[in-house]
Amino acid sequence: MGSGSVWMFDFFGSVMPVFFIVVIGIILLSAGKGILQWSQNNRQPLLSVDSKIVSKRTEVKHTQQTDDTMSSRTRTTYYLTFEVESGDRMEFIVNGEEFGMCAEGDEGLLRFQGTRYYGFARHPKAHLGVVRGYEHPK
């Protein structure tokens, strides 16, 4: 072995610990951010406010495995955007079933705590006596 291989071992001996520390730092920073958000949500009051669904969207992430199995995974995240009486808008992650039951324009009672979504109860639509173009006698 020549002096070139000694240089390589010295390079990896000094770079790998720095790389390891950076990766651990990123993991700890992410965990700390999650704990901070959880703590801030716990300090917020549980609110129930009249709101309207103004937008629905999905985010689909597809990952392909690089091994020989050729397996893949797809994950869909569902979002609802609500507008409250003050005009402020808030977007929450919801499950697929609730996403499918909601439509843009639905009005109801939104329950949340900070960034934590607890549910949406739709107000029933007022029937004005008109059903499928036929006006019922009064």
Q: For residue 125, is pLDDT > 50? A: yes
Query: Which residues are CB-contacts of 52 (< 8 A; sequence separation ≥ 6)?
Result: 82, 83, 105, 106, 107
pLDDT the model gives residue 129: 46
- Report the percentage of the chain scoring pLDDT > 70: 83
More confidently predicted of 98 and 18: 98
Residue 33 CA to residue 92 CA, distance in Å, equals: 18
More confidently predicted of 15 and 127: 15
DSSP-derived secondary structure for 5-22: HHHHHHHHHHHHHHHHHH
Backbone torsions φ then ψ of 19, nearest 5 degrees = -60, -45
pLDDT, averaged across the chain: 84
Q: pLDDT category, 56, cuts 50, 70, 90?
A: very high
pTM of structure: 0.69
Backbone torsions φ then ψ of 34, nearest 5 degrees = -65, -40
